[in-house]
Amino acid sequence: MLARQIARQQAVTARKHAVPTARLLPHLTVAASRRCYATNPASSWLQSNSRISTVFGILMGVGIASTAYGLYQFYTTFTTWPPEVRGDLRAGIKAKNQGDLELSERYIRRAWKTAQTLPISAFTSEPYLKLSGIAITLAEVLEASNRPSEAYETYSITLAQLRAAQAAKRLSGRERMRAVALAHKLGEMAEVYQRGPEKAEEFLTFAVEEVLRVIKDGEAGIEVEGKGKERAEEDEVGAMLAELELPWWVRKVDVAAPLEALGRFYAREGKPDYATTLYLQAIGMLMKPPNGKAGASTSVEDRCRAAQIMNNLSDLMSQANLKGAESWARQAHSVIQKTRELPGSAKDPEAMALCEQTLAAAMFNLGALLEMSGKIDDARKSYQESLEQARSIGMRSGAMEARGALRRLERAAGGQAGDPSSSPFVGAANKPA
């Protein structure tokens, strides 16, 4: 599989940072009992089986943003829809926006059933983007109604339809990216709702492999629609893996998201070589300057998301490679500090909020790593910086954790501390997302 081929091709690079598999077993090592904080792209779904303190669980992540972009981009100009479904769609969306989920489901489900009876030509350009959009909107309403199993089945049916159309070479590049986003969503839902790790891996691996195929096909001129259009945003174009150029309609975050998600999956499954390689690829994707131009700057959003993955990579390494883990925590800190200085940072408060929250987490992580290395004075300084950062952004629970860590160090200095590995303030394992 392409995902595993990537891991093998970059094994030498990965092993410089990776943690040996035998030392990654949770709860068996001192490092495992003193885990750092990992930021979580799917905190709203994963509260039930999360092994990390909720202090940094509020962080938005790559996965959610990419999935939302890929799934919930909906045509609100209803004249673009066939007349047979237009009325039900309009009524369903209106009811959804008004909070009447039961009525919304009724209308949207009827629109979906009607849409499936129409010839595909009724949807004009990029028909599968529109057809899948109806189903995805229905699934979103089902999720909001606390009916995740029905939502999961709806997403699954929609992905199967897209894959069947792709097998017949009928999908545009953007329609294929919709399939990538759906597979990403299903992979994370499969873990949350106990569909089994095999199912989660199947979906996430497809998402990674398909996004790479889309990029390769676009570079080779195989892309069937949109290739001749002007690029909407020049700075959306990046490079990936072996200097592959992204089509103009693919954002860097859309590629990085499934890479990061599959990396998290392999981290949880005890396959750190694969996890590390995928994390590194996601970071490289996000940090690559537009068009690879020297001196060009990546966007604030991409830099903040890259810093978040760096923090998660630091967490992965904390079990057995403290030096590597410390290096990545410092790198996350450095990226955020430089991002603050970018001219566009003030224009993107949502992305900067992620940066500021990740900074609080990264400084706490660094403090824990330094403490594990016996560098108590440096650890105290890092915890203090985390405390001040958490206070400055109104992160009360984060400030509480940092204060707890500082108090523990004070007790240890006074000869009153017990085994620091038992402290609840030095977080938990790499958090699923």
Residue 39: its pLDDT value, please?
Answer: 59
Taking 70 as the threshold, does the pLDDT of residue 282 lie above it? yes
User: Is the Cβ–Cβ distance between 225 and 231 less than 8 Å?
Assistant: no
pLDDT band at 73 (very low <50, low <70, confident <90, very high): low
Binning pLDDT at 50, 70 and 90, where does residue 74 land? low
Residue 216 binned pLDDT confidence (cut-offs 50, 70, 90) = confident
* Domain assignment present for 174: yes
pLDDT band of 241, cuts 50, 70, 90: very low
Least confidently predicted of 81-95, 116-130, 254-268, 404-418: 404-418
Q: Is the pLDDT of residue 416 over 80?
A: no
How does residue 219 score in pLDDT terms, banded at 50, 70 and 90?
A: low
CB 127, CB 120: distance < 8 Å: yes
pLDDT band at 143 (very low <50, low <70, confident <90, very high): very high
Which residue did the predictor score with more confidence, 69 or 176? 176
87: in domain: no
User: Nearest to residue 300, comparing CAs of 360, 355, 362?
Assistant: 355
In a domain, 91, yes or no: no
Domain contains 102: no
Domain count, the chain: 1
User: What's the pTM?
Assistant: 0.74
Is pLDDT of 235 > 80? no
Residue 4: pLDDT band with limits 50, 70, 90 = low
pLDDT at 232 over 50: no
Residues with Cβ within 8 Å of residue 332, at least 6 apart in sequence: 307, 308, 310, 311, 314, 358, 359, 362
pLDDT at 228 over 60: no
Q: Output the 3-class SS for 224-266.
A: CCCCCCCCCCHHHCCEECCCEECCCCCCHHHHHHHHHHHHHHH
Q: How confident is the model at residue 209 (pLDDT cuts 50, 70, 90)?
A: very high
For residue 191, name the pLDDT band (cuts at 50, 70, 90).
confident
Give the domain extent around 174. 2-82+118-422
Q: Single out the residue of 248, 250, 279 nearest to residue 262, CA to CA.
A: 279
Percent of the chain residues topping a pLDDT of 90: 58
Give the pLDDT of residue 37: 58
Q: In the 8-state DSSP scheme, what is residue 53?
A: -
Output the average pLDDT for the chain. Answer: 77
Residue 95 neighbours by CB under 8 Å, 6+ apart: 101, 103, 104, 107
On the question of pLDDT at 13 being above 60, the answer is no
CA–CA separation, 101 and 109 (whole Å): 12
17 lies in some domain: yes
Q: Which has more pLDDT, 406 or 228?
A: 406
Is residue 67 a part of any domain in this protein? Answer: yes
Residue 273, in any domain of the structure: yes
Residue 72: is its pLDDT beyond 60? no
Three-class DSSP labels, 324-361:
HHHHHHHHHHHHHHHHHCCCCHHHCHHHHHHHHHHHHH
pLDDT at 382 over 80: yes
Is residue 98 domain-resident? no
- For residue 140, give both structure tokens: 């979103």
What confidence tens digit (pLDDT) does each residue in 96-128 have?
Answer: 999 999 999 999 999 999 999 999 999 988 999
Average pLDDT over residues 146-168: 96
Mean pLDDT of 235-244: 38
CATH code at position 240: 1.25.40.10
Could you tell me the pLDDT band of residue 220, with boundaries at 50, 70 and 90? low
Specify whether the CB–CB gap between 296 and 276 falls below 8 A: no
User: Is 70 exceeded by the pLDDT of residue 17?
Assistant: no
